[in-house]
Amino acid sequence: MNIRYNKDPHNRYDCWEYGSFTIKKEMVFSSVAKLEKVVGNLNKLKWERFHNVVVPDFTVEVSDHILRVEMEYVKGDYMQSIHHYNVVYDELVLRDGDWSWTDYAPRNFIVKDDRIHVIDLDSYGYIKFEDRQRKWDESYGIFAPLIRSYRGKNQLDAKLSCSDLDYLRLRKLLVSVFNAKVERVEEKYYAKIDNSTYDNLEQLMSYLRLLYSYIQNEMDLNPPRHQQRKNILKELR
């Protein structure tokens, strides 16, 4: 914690003008090459600019094979909304170029004042889009239906064989809410979502409501009770 005291004799000595908390991370490397790679990545990170993703102020110090990173402490919450996951996907996965974050675990992001703060700074490095997409799928593949810009392997695939009016309404819902690929077909079923078929509108809407609730519960880092989660999974089968 860094504190600058007010030394004015006319004021109390125990009153400080400002205070800031910092976190220190110390890493030991087995080779100079690995150390220099991470230091180079951190130096490049200092020049990066984002819109809704914030990189805390940080300093780097190297001694022998030891790297010390001191960064601003960010007090906030973990990501718990669809909006926040969309921001991470848009700005860190879809971003132009081959430099971004290589680890998208929830613990690496803190939300403060509705902006995403990255806290695992040494996870920044060279990573191509295909690898970023793969890592995102590994961590958040189940969230795909609610990520507006997602076009990966987990995108919802919807085939509709319903009436014209139902098709127009369902297509709007599936695209705007679930970011689905929607196709009009002529089949005996009413609708098909991925590998499951539905015979009428009521069945389909029941599934979509459960799917939405399930994804929201998974996004919540304070998950529902075990039995509640089992019930949701049972309904989705």
Domain boundaries defined on the chain:
28-59+71-146, 157-236
The residues with which 15 forms a beta bridge, in sequence order, are none
The pLDDT score that the predictor gives to residue 60 is 93
The pLDDT score that the predictor gives to residue 181 is 94
The answer to whether 89 and 150 are in contact (CB under 8 A) is yes
Per-residue model confidence as pLDDT tens for the chain (237 residues) = 444 444 555 555 555 555 678 889 999 998 899 999 999 999 999 999 888 899 999 999 998 889 999 999 999 998 888 889 999 999 999 999 999 999 998 889 999 988 999 999 999 999 999 999 999 998 888 888 888 899 888 999 999 999 999 999 999 999 988 999 999 999 999 999 999 999 999 999 999 999 988 888 877 644 444 455 455 445 444
The answer to whether 32 and 21 are in contact (CB under 8 A) is no
Reading the block at residue 24, the tokens are: 């220190």
Closest C-alpha to 92, from 114, 59, 125, 69: 125
The pLDDT score that the predictor gives to residue 8 is 55
